[in-house]
Every structure is written in C-alpha cells, then in structure tokens.
Amino acid sequence: MNQSALQTWDVFCKIVDNHGDIGVCWRLCQQLANEQALRVRLFIDDMPAAAHIVPQLHPKLAQQDIDGVTVCAWPNESIMPAATVLETFSCGLPMAYLEKMVAQQSHWINLDYLSAEDWVADFHGKPSPQTQLPITRHFFFPGFEIHTGGLLRERDLIAKRIAYSKDALTQSQFWQALGCEQGQAAIENSLKISLFCYPQANVPSLLAGLHSLDQAVTLFFPASLLHSTAELFPDFARGAGLSLNKHNITVQPIPFLSQANYDRLLWSCDCNFVRGEDSWVRAIWAGQAFIWQPYIQEQGTHLKKMQAFLNRYSQQASPELASLLSAAHFAWSATQAHDSKIFTELMQALSLVKEHALAEANRLAKQPDLLSKLLSFNEKLTENKV
C-alpha cells in the first residue's frame, strides 16, 4: 500500500459501558484528524451513549462531520474500508467489511486496554494471523514503558496545562462556569478535590479522613449515571443550591464536563480521584496528586493491575511515599470500610505527593505518545517490518 493510501483511517468503537471506550476513541480520532491531517471515520455502535462525550453529536444522523472527524453509525454492508482500520478494545469488525479489507489489503490494528503490567511489552505489536480470512490482525498495547504503545497525549497538552496554571483570568472564568455556590475565594482557599469513581469506592472512609483535617475541603462531584448524591453523602445537609455540607466539607455537584473542561478541573484540583482508563491518564498528565480506581474485574484482577501501576509509578518515590500511595490506593478500592486515617495522611502529605506526580508526568512526557507510536507502527506494516 502506498503512502497516500495511508492517509485514510477507520476507527471502530463499541460502547460496552461507561465513557472510557468512546472517551479514548474520540481523543485519538481528533488527534489523527487535527494533528496529522488524516481522513478519519469513527464508527460507533451506540450514538446516544457517545453523545455524553461528543455533545455536538446528533444521535439520529447516520453520518456527520464533527471537529474534522466523520462520525458514522456502525457500518452497513456497502461501506468501503479505509487503508488503516483501528479496532478498539477487541470490539470486533463486521464480516462483510473484513472481506473488503482483505481485498484491498487494509492494515488491521487492535488498540487494547491500558495496563502497567510487565507482560504488555511482550505482547505489544504482535501479529495474529486469522484462520478464516487471509489477513493479519496486530495487537497494539498502550503502556508506561518504551517497549509498549505509550500513552495518549495531545501534542500541545502539557503546554496548555502550563499556560492555564499561569492564567488567573481563565482559571477564574472556569470556576464561574462550573456554577458553584461558594464564591471563588472560598473555593481557592479550600482543599480542592475532584471525585470520579465507581459506586464501590470507599467514599465513607475518605469523608471520615477529610473530616479530621483542620481545613475547609471542597469536593467536586461530576454528575454520573452511576451515583446518587444523596446515597453517597447520606448525612450531609443541603446548602443554598445543589451543594451539601458537613463540618469542614462542601460537596459541590457539577455537570458532566466536556473533555477539555474535565482537564481544567484536574489541573485545578489539589487531588483528583479518577477511574477506568482515560481519566487516569489525564490525571497523570495533570501533574497533581491523584488516586486511581481501576475498572472492577472478577477475581481481583483489577487489584493486580493497580499493584503493577503502583510498582512502576513509585519507582522514583521514597519508601515512605511509595507506601502511602499504595495504602491510599488499596483503601480506596477496598470492598469493606477501611481505616480513614490513611486519607488524612494522604491529604497532609499532598505537597510531596504532588511533587512526585509532577516529576512522573514530566518523565513520562519525554516518551513518545501513543499516536506517534501508532503511526510509526503503521508505517512498519507498510514496509512489512512487523
């Protein structure tokens, strides 16, 4: 396949649950289209669910152009495949479409889930010849080290974060746009925490740990389909508007933000509780303290993934900091009530945790990002070097 044929990409996204699948696909498609000027079609199986992440999307339209990307409903038989086809998270491709891929020798890459486990480097880039059709599927694994597919990071992301941190006016506009009942000064003088988690997260222990602090705390709680605010904060009193209060803690429910504004929230908070895959990576790039809750899997597989991440993430940390980060992560993902002291200790050590987070963000940002690696991998496929 020649160079010009490499200019077209089809990305396939099946929305299993939550927002991570479409969150990752949408970011990557925008990078392909806007950073690389490639022609990109994004096929989505559930348009109404995708509209949470792509608010401009009209769920009833079969095809529409948004931010340089052609967004399409899952394809019908007549669609001709692009030169490069990116299946995401093993979502599968329609058989009629696959047959056409064989005929025109499209590249077939499967973008897998992110994990910090050691096996990832061994499996990244491996070919998987198919038995039913004369075509090879290739595994592309994101990851934290140089022999993996890397992490999603837009070209200008770090520069944007640094510019935001120096721009008091934009920060003030961001707080105002969030519609908080507390004034900006009260927010800025409090310990700011964002909370995006699965229902199993150990919120009661976190709240107990925060109550022990000698400091005002604002908890930003992005509305999610999974939680009811009243259930999460049962004995909090209603404030003037949507906010809830107890002792030193104000819970501020906020709308589900655009991906760009969610980044701003992560950049603005002192500590971010994140989950799944995409918010986890964004929290890493934010360079602020964070606690990650992995997507819950059977037999505690998610806890092994968390351990693998902590091992990698804490390599440059002091033994004390490494053990604090580990204890806080395991307490947050614990299925039973847990000693709340660890969350008090975490908040008291935030300046050290943040220093480490920033150093890790800077270290990881020196590695090539996922899109750069994906493009060079695709070129190697053309040259038959894989």
Write out the catalytic residue numbers.
Answer: 21, 277
| Tally of CB atoms within 10 A around 367 | 17
Across the beta sheet with 249-254, the strand order is: 237-238, 244-246, 249-254, 217-222, 191-195, 271-275, 289-293
Select the residue interacting with ligand TRH from 10, 13, 21, 71 (CB under 6 A): 21
Identify residue 343 by its one-letter amino acid code: F
Select the residue interacting with ligand TRH from 97, 144, 175, 196 (CB under 6 A): 196
Residue 375 φ/ψ, nearest 5 degrees: -70, -40
Q: Quick one: DSSP state of residue 300? A: G
**Smallest separation (angstroms) from ligand TRH to the CB of 224:** 7
20 binds ligand TRH (CB under 6 A): yes
Q: Which stretch binds ligand TRH (CB under 6 A): 131-139, 254-262, 302-310, 354-362?
A: 254-262
Are the CB atoms for 172 and 304 separated by under 8 Å?
Answer: no
**Smallest separation (angstroms) from ligand TRH to the CB of 22:** 8
Q: Is 335 exposed, middle or buried (0-12, 13-18, 19+ CB in 10 A)?
A: exposed
**Smallest separation (angstroms) from ligand TRH to the CB of 147:** 22
253 binds ligand TRH (CB under 6 A): no
Whose Cβ is closer to ligand TRH: residue 148's or residue 340's?
148
Are the CB atoms for 293 and 198 separated by under 8 Å?
Answer: yes
23 binds ligand TRH (CB under 6 A): yes
Tokens of 285: 């790039």
Subset of residues 115 to 134 that bind ligand TRH, contact rule: CB under 6 A: none
Select the residue interacting with ligand TRH from 259, 348, 367, 372 (CB under 6 A): 259
Select the residue interacting with ligand TRH from 275, 305, 356, 373 (CB under 6 A): 275
Angstrom distance (rounded) from CA 127 to CA 377: 12
Q: Quick one: DSSP state of residue 339? A: -
Select the residue interacting with ligand TRH from 113, 139, 164, 330 (CB under 6 A): 113
267 binds ligand TRH (CB under 6 A): no
257 binds ligand TRH (CB under 6 A): yes
Angstrom distance (rounded) from CA 159 to CA 162: 5
* Contact track, ligand TRH, 71-110, x by CB under 6 A: ----------------------------------------
Tokens of 67: 């931010």
Interhelix angle 319-332/341-348, nearest 10 degrees:
130
Angstrom distance (rounded) from CA 20 to CA 12: 14
Q: Which stretch binds ligand TRH (CB under 6 A): 70-78, 120-128, 238-246, 257-265?
A: 257-265
**Smallest separation (angstroms) from ligand TRH to the CB of 15:** 8
Q: Which stretch binds ligand TRH (CB under 6 A): 17-25, 54-62, 204-212, 319-327?
A: 17-25
* C-alpha pair distances (Å), 271 with each of 13, 217, 335: 31, 11, 22
List all residues 6 or more positions away from 199 whose beta carbon is below 8 Å from its beta carbon: 226, 227
Q: Which stretch binds ligand TRH (CB under 6 A): 10-18, 170-178, 184-192, 331-339?
A: 10-18
Select the residue interacting with ligand TRH from 17, 65, 167, 320 (CB under 6 A): 17
Angstrom distance (rounded) from CA 216 to CA 185: 12
Residue nearest to ligand TRH (CB): 20
Whose Cβ is closer to ligand TRH: residue 196's or residue 309's?
196
* Contact track, ligand TRH, 45-64, x by CB under 6 A: --------x-----------
Select the residue interacting with ligand TRH from 125, 142, 276, 287 (CB under 6 A): 276
| Tally of CB atoms within 10 A around 320 | 10
279 binds ligand TRH (CB under 6 A): yes
Angstrom distance (rounded) from CA 156 to CA 240: 39
By rule CB under 6 A, what count of residues binds ligand TRH? 21
Are the CB atoms for 72 and 97 separated by under 8 Å?
Answer: no
Select the residue interacting with ligand TRH from 9, 11, 14, 19 (CB under 6 A): 19
Angstrom distance (rounded) from CA 21 to CA 134: 28
Residues that bind ligand TRH (CB under 6 A): 16-21, 23, 53, 113, 196, 222, 256-257, 259, 262, 275-279, 295
